[in-house]
Every structure is written in C-alpha cells, then in structure tokens.
Structure 1
Amino acid sequence: MYTEAAKMDNKDFLKLVEILERESAARIASEASRISESTAFQQTIKDLNSTIEKLNETIGSLLEENRLLKGPKKNSRNSSVPPSKDENRPQKTSSLRPLQGNM
C-alpha cells in the first residue's frame, strides 16, 4: 500500500514540476516582453524630450525675431524714408488762418 501511494505521489510531483516549469517559462517571457516595451518607451521619451528641446529653441528665436520686428515705431526722425516720400505720413491740412481779404 505504501508503494502505491508513493507512485501516485511521484506522478503528481512530476506533473507539478511540469506545471511549474511552464508557469516559469511564461513569466520569463512576460518579463522579457515588459523589459523590451520599457526600453522602447524610454527611447520614445528621449526622442520626445529632444523634440521639445528643439521646439523651445525655435520658439525662443521666433520670439526674439518678433521682438525685433515689432521694435520702435518708425517716424521721420528714425526712418530711412525722407518725409516727402513717406506714404504713411500725415497729410498737411489746409491752413486754418482766415483769408486776408475777409478781415
């Protein structure tokens, strides 16, 4: 009787070992997959950070260019266009003096 019980226990033990080996292989494959995904995610994060850095540099240069373009308003004192040729200068209005004949 003891021998039969030992044989059954041995069969069950071998099945248990087989199940544990499959479970272990599945966990190892799952962990390897997770590590692979993690590495891919880390590379994606590095790429995105690099892109953000380049965009920040571009934004900085565009803001500086915008500041320079908005600079001080041009007028006859700081303009390269003489007042007589400036299309945007205010036009002289007719004299507000009364006509001499009507006085």
Structure 2
Amino acid sequence: MNEEMAKAFLGTDQDRDAFVNRETLRHAVARAIFCRYSGKVLDVRTAVLVEASKGERRSMEVLDGADWDSVKDAALAKFAELGWMVEVIDGRTL
C-alpha cells in the first residue's frame, strides 16, 4: 500500500474524499489525454473534471484549468438555469 493510500484509509473523511477525488481525476485525465477545447495535453495537477447530472442524464468533461477558468462562470450559470447538479474536481486544489 502506498503512503498516499495509507493516509487516506487511516485519516479523516476529508483525507479519504481528497484521495478518491485525486484518483477519479487521474483516471479521467488518463482517458481523455487532451483538453477538448484547447487541445492541450492534460496534466492531473492542473486539470479540472466537471460532472453534471440531471435525473438519469449525466455529462462529464475534463478541461485544462485555464480553459475551465475562462468558461466557469457562464457554464455554472447555465447548468443552474437548466436545473443540472454540478460537481467539480479541480486538480489545482487537491
């Protein structure tokens, strides 16, 4: 077991949540490889995973952090207007 995993298992709920979010983001970055909007190669340390859901419908996108920053306000406002729930995992804050 690596040190990061041990810390998550033995730590607080916040430690476990951070570990799961890091691994979720790492998996999404490995699958996407490139930012769909800018074409930049994604880096888990700076990537942002945006998951939106409404009922059975679900959408997920991985963006470069700078690209997310440029559309964040408009995207979150639009999701709220349409009644979608949004979860954002930002690698820059993990």
TM-score of the aligned structures, taking structure 1 as reference length? 0.22
1 or 2, which has the higher strand percentage?
2
Structure having the higher Rg: 1
1 or 2, which has the higher helix percentage?
1
RCO higher in 1 or 2 (8 Å CA, sep ≥ 6)?
Answer: 2
TM-score of the aligned structures, taking structure 2 as reference length? 0.24
